[in-house]
Chains A and B, each alone.
Chain A
Amino acid sequence: MASRAQQMPTGLRILSSAFVIVWLILAAFPFLWTFWGSFKVELDFFSIADWTNALTGANTQETYGRSFTGAGYHGAWVQNEFWRNVINTFIVCFFVVCTSLTIGTLGGYALSRSGFKYVFWLLIIALIFRAMPPITLVAGYMLPFFEWNVWGILPTTIIVLVAINQPFTLWMLHSFFQNIPKELDESAKVDGCTQFQAFRHVIIPVMWPGVITTGLFSFLLAYNDFAVTAMLLSESNRTMIPQIAAFLGTTQTEGNVMFAVAAVVSATAPLFVLVMFFQRQIVSGLTAGAVKG
């Protein structure tokens, strides 16, 4: 509890609360507005005559007899088969998270338990790889993938995303494993376990909090990726994000913009749920690197 001397004067308190409210509006309003507008027709969402139309839905009422319509969602999900892209996205995310956690955990554990000098260099190389924009690598993938005939399919994209994920995963799990006392697996080894058995029976049971946090960020990276998925997937295998970009290419006909709006809202919803459930892990993951370093 703050002492009286540390309490803010009323004026400052009001100012700071007002500032927080303004920030909350800035942060949340665009999402609420787009969500609300996604149930309207285009003339309401983009209303040149009167901006209150977007709230009341005057044109939507005229067209559909109600002030809300699911036409945008119907158009996106059924007409344009957005559900295929949704399924693709979740296939990609699932396999990326599982694979990158499996190999990343082994690697991160090894890095944290080995005191040799090459560990430092491996970490530095990982840091350099982490800083490189993924799109710069894409030009290097294209030709070999065309030659081997593996361009455009989901497994290729999954492997590429796993690899791009690795540097970050390694750094996070490395620092996480360093916080697990070495004595734990040392004593298992004294009892006659091999290194792998020590890892299997002693480390795995206690590593889940760090692994879950890392997994969340792997998921976000795979889910939010545009550069790799847009370049390496053929039209029929697209995930959500490139598909939304593709909707925009064909926005001239009426209604099509609303498909994109509905698709955007659909793509944001899982993230919303994710933040709701894993807020604590996300915050701790963001600050893990910062506060320690």
Chain B
Amino acid sequence: MKHRTFFWFFLPTGLAMLLFIAMPIVSVITQSMYAPHEAVLITVENCTPFACTEETTIDQEATRELRDAQPLGRFVGWDIYLNRGHLAVAEVAEIWRSAESWGGFFDRLGNLPFYRAMAFTLTYTFVTVPLLIGLGLMIALAVNSLHRHLKGLVIFFSLLPMIVTPIVGALILFWMIDSRGIIGNLIIYLSGDPQLSLKASTPLMWVSLIVYGIWHSAPFAFVVFYAGLQTLPKDQLEAAQIDGATRLQQLRYVTIPHLMPLVTFVALIKLMDNFRVFEEIVGFNASAHATSLSWIIYNDLSGETRQLSSAAATSVLTIIGVAILLSPVLIRTWRDFRGRRV
């Protein structure tokens, strides 16, 4: 295909991505270096025959004019990144100096919004991913041994938790684990503590979110692994059997190595997806116990006063986080591409 033809074919989609993905990134980075204008203050001296008093008021008109003239705000460089709401450099240094033990250090670090969010996001991501891969693999193996008429039905029901809107799925589960809901009731019955509430305790809320995360993502792993099992060469299994391999050994030395590329694939996709966890937190109304970077952005933007600059700084930090997680995928794609050309 000629360059010219390619250009015209690619123009609409390229334009869409340029205008609504690439430009906003630039705009976010710019925005993150500007802080909102402070109100313009004027000091008026009121003199009575006896004494003069100074009164400071906000000059509404001048403030509005300034904001209209420079909607971005005033330039502050990296200040927003370093303030308490984001990387909190000064606070971390202070905590580092005064903390006596590691426990105390992390405890106090957890009170800073950014590190609190990171703690949950990373725990959530790295606990959920291995568990969902394990569960997905077990489902795939079990379904694969079913009768073929049953398989379609099982796949149908298995797809539901994955396809459902994240916030809707989270709500459905949230209502069930409510202390008046069915699972909440059961947990209270099992523990024998009528006061127990999942909503009130941070560790239990984290567990609920992680359970939700696994429930939501395991079907994806299942479907991918199940498709992989269909391509498993029969002769390899037979050869292993002839060599006297037990069922477990066949699984360990034939099936799992065959599925390994898919495990990597699922792990990478789900690492990236889980890093952006936030609808679950909204659905579970869990922001008092668990926050994530995406949730902070959402929270900044949805308030009465939209804190664009603060949200923008968090967005840039999130993009950097995603880039770090993405780098193995990029390297792999690069290698594949090289391999194909040579």
Q: Which residues of A contact B (CB under 8 A)?
A: 3, 5-6, 8, 12-13, 16-17, 19-20, 23-24, 26-28, 30-31, 33-34, 37, 45-48, 51, 54, 102-104, 106-107, 109-111, 113-116, 120, 122-129, 131-133, 135-144, 147, 159-160, 162-164, 166-167, 169-170, 195-196, 199, 220, 223-224, 226-227, 230-231, 241, 244-245, 248, 260-261, 264, 267-268, 271-272, 274-276, 279, 282-283, 286-287, 289-291, 293
Across the interface, name the chain B residue whose C-beta is closest to A120.
B337
A-contact bits for B254-275, CB 8 A (1 contact / 0 none)? 0000000110011000001001
Once the chains are docked, how many angstroms separate the CA of A40 from the CA of B165? 23
Once the chains are docked, how many angstroms separate the CA of A33 from the CA of B16? 42
Partner of B173 from the list A30, A103, A116, A163 (CB cut-off 8 Å) is: A30
Q: List 14 A-B pairs, Cβ < 8 Å.
A: A23-B139, A51-B185, A107-B12, A113-B1, A133-B318, A133-B322, A137-B315, A224-B165, A224-B166, A226-B165, A231-B301, A264-B168, A282-B163, A283-B155
Assess whether B227 is interfacial by the CB under 8 Å rule. yes
Q: Which residues of B contact A (CB under 8 A)?
A: 1-3, 5-6, 9-10, 12-14, 16-17, 19-28, 31, 71-72, 138-139, 141-143, 145-146, 152, 154-161, 163-169, 171-173, 175-176, 178-182, 185-186, 215, 219-220, 223-224, 227-228, 231, 237-238, 241, 247, 261-262, 265-266, 272, 275-276, 278-279, 282, 285, 294, 297-298, 300-302, 306, 308, 311-312, 315-316, 318-319, 322-323, 325-326, 329-330, 333-334, 336-337
**A126 contacts B160, CB within 8 Å?**
no
Partner of B21 from the list A147, A163, A248 (CB cut-off 8 Å) is: A163
Residues of A contacting B337 in the complex (Cβ-Cβ under 8 angstroms): 120
Residues of A contacting B333 in the complex (Cβ-Cβ under 8 angstroms): 123-124, 127
Tell me whether chain A's interface is mostly helix, strand or loop, or mixed.
helix
Partner of A23 from the list B158, B168, B175, B329 (CB cut-off 8 Å) is: B158
Once the chains are docked, how many angstroms separate the CA of A31 from the CA of B72? 46
- A290/B160 contact (C-beta < 8 A), A48-B180, A136-B319, A163-B21 known: no
Across the interface, name the chain B residue whose C-beta is closest to A7.
B145
Across the interface, name the chain A residue whose C-beta is closest to B297.
A135
- A129/B1 contact (C-beta < 8 A), A139-B297, A267-B165 known: no
Partner of B1 from the list A8, A110, A291 (CB cut-off 8 Å) is: A110
Once the chains are docked, how many angstroms separate the CA of A54 from the CA of B313? 47
**B227 contacts A275, CB within 8 Å?**
no
**B40 to chain A: closest CB distance in Å?**
21
- A20/B139 contact (C-beta < 8 A), A46-B180, A136-B319, A244-B168 known: yes
**B159 contacts A244, CB within 8 Å?**
no
Partner of B160 from the list A33, A125, A139, A275 (CB cut-off 8 Å) is: A275
- A54/B165 contact (C-beta < 8 A), A133-B294, A143-B31, A260-B171 known: no
Residues of A contacting B166 in the complex (Cβ-Cβ under 8 angstroms): 224, 226
Residues of B contacting A19 in the complex (Cβ-Cβ under 8 angstroms): 138-139, 142
Residues of B contacting A143 in the complex (Cβ-Cβ under 8 angstroms): 27, 31, 71-72, 308
Residues of A contacting B13 in the complex (Cβ-Cβ under 8 angstroms): 103-104, 106-107, 166, 169-170
Residues of A contacting B145 in the complex (Cβ-Cβ under 8 angstroms): 8, 13, 16
